[in-house]
Amino acid sequence: MIDGIISFAKENGYDSAVYVCKWRKYEVYEPIFQNTDINIVGIPYMIFVEGTEIRMSTVDETFEYLDDNA
């Protein structure tokens, strides 16, 4: 499954993804860049995995996740 998650991250412009935690019904992964020259300003989206579904968090989910894990 991790290969699918990393592939999903790459399809969305990232280099990889690392497991963060279980949150609500999702396994949460942080998409990462390995190039230190890249600076991203904006919402820190997460990758949510539920069963075989892999997707990016929505804006609302991102803020809920951040609020719950502050």
Reported as a single tens digit per residue, the pLDDT across 23-50 is 999 999 999 988 767 666 789 999 999 9
Q: Which of 49, 15, 12 is nearest to 29 (CA)?
A: 49
Number of domains in the chain: 1
Give the pLDDT of residue 10: 97
- Say if residue 20's pLDDT is above 70: yes
Say which amino acid occupies 15. Answer: D
| Residues in contact with 67: Cβ distance below 8 Å, sequence separation at least 6, in sequence order | none
Q: Name the pTM for this structure.
A: 0.89
If one counts every other C-beta atom within 10 angstroms of the C-beta of residue 38, the result is 10
Phi, psi of 57 (to 5 degrees): -65, 155
Q: Is 39 exposed, middle or buried (0-12, 13-18, 19+ CB in 10 A)?
A: exposed
